[in-house]
Structure 1
Amino acid sequence: MSAPTKLGPTLKRGEKVFEYRGGRVVYEILGKEGDFIALTPGGRFSKDIEGLCPLARELVKGGYRVLLWDRPNCGKSDVQFYGQSESHMRAETLHALITGLDIGPCIIAGGSGGARDSMLTTMLYPEIVRKLVVWNIVGGVYGSFVLGSYYIIPSILAVRGAGMRGVIAVDEWQQRIAENPANRERFLSMDPDEFLKVMLRWLNAFVPKPGQTIPGVEDEMFDNIKVPTLIIRGGENDLDHPKRTSLEVHCLIKGSTLIDPPWPEDAWERAGEARAQGKVKRFNMFDTWVQAAPAILDFLAD
Structure 2
Amino acid sequence: MSAGETVAGPQNSSMEIHGGKVVYEILGTSDELIVLTPGGRFGKDIPGLRPLAQALVDGGYSVLLWDRPNCGASDIQFYGPSESHMRAETLAALLKGLDRGPCVIAGGSGGARDSMLLSILYPELVSKLVLWNIVGGIYGTFNLGAYYVLPSLQAVRGLGVEGLVQMREWRERIDENPANKQRLLDLDPDEFVKLSLRWLGTYVPKPGQTIPGVDDELFDRITVPTLIIRGGENDLDHPKRTSLEVSCLIRGSTLIDPPWPEDAWERAMEDRASGRSGGFNMFDTWVQAAPDILKFLADS
Aligned position for 2:193: 196
Q: 1:117 aligns with which of 98, 114, 117?
A: 114
Using a 3 Å threshold, how does the CA distance of structure 1 residues 260 and 53 change in structure 2: closer, same or farther?
Answer: same
Q: Given residue 195 of structure 2, which amino acid in structure 1 is its aligned partner?
A: V
Contact 2:267 2:280 in 1 (8 A): no
Gaps of 5+ in 1: 1-10
Runs of 4+ in structure 1 off by over 3 angstroms are 280-283
Does residue 13 of structure 2 align to residue 22 of structure 1? Answer: no
* Counterpart Cα distance in 2 of 1:298 and 1:163: 51
Structure-to-structure mapping, 1:3-22, within 5 angstroms: 13-22=10-19
Counterpart in the other structure of 2:160: 163
1:279 and 2:276 equivalent?
yes
The one-letter code matched in structure 2 to 1:255 is G
**1:34–1:63: 8 Å Cα contact kept in structure 2?**
no
The aligned runs of 1:245-260 (5 Å cut-off) are 245-260=242-257
Specify which of 144, 151, 154 is matched with residue 154 of structure 1: 151
| One-letter amino acid of the structure 2 residue matched with residue 271 of structure 1 | A
- 3-state SS of paired residue (1:255): coil
Q: Match for 2:119: what amino acid?
A: T
RMSD of aligned Cα (Å): 1.4
Q: CA deviation at 1:283?
A: 6.7
Partner Cα distance (1:282, 1:264) in 2: 14
Q: Matches of 1:62 and 1:159 in 2, distance apart?
A: 47
In the alignment of these two chains, the number of paired residues is: 293
Equivalent of residue 263 in structure 1, options 257, 260, 264: 260
- Amino acid paired to 2:126: V
Higher relative contact order (CA 8 A, sep 6+): 1
2:239 match:
242
Asked if 1:83 is matched to 2:76, the reply is: no
Q: Is 1:55 equivalent to 2:55 in the alignment? A: no
Counterparts of 1:231 and 1:218 in 2: how far apart (Å)? 19
Counterpart Cα distance in 2 of 1:246 and 1:52:
21
What is the alpha-carbon distance in structure 1 between the residues aligned to residue 166 and residue 26 of structure 2? 33
Q: Per-residue deviation at 1:285? A: 2.3
Query: TM-score under structure 1 normalisation?
Result: 0.95
Q: Secondary structure at the match of 2:283?
A: helix
Instruction: Say whether residues 1:42 and 2:39 are aligned partners.
Output: yes
Q: How many Å separate the matches in 2 of 1:155 and 1:298?
A: 42
SS of equivalent residue, structure 1 residue 38: strand
Task: Mark the CA change 1:92 to 1:32 in structure 2 (over 3 Å): closer, same or farther.
Answer: same
Partner of 2:96: 99
**TM-score normalised to the size of structure 2?**
0.95
Q: Are the aligned partners of 2:145 and 2:200 in contact in 1 as well (CA < 8 Å)?
A: yes
1:185 correspondence with 2:218: no
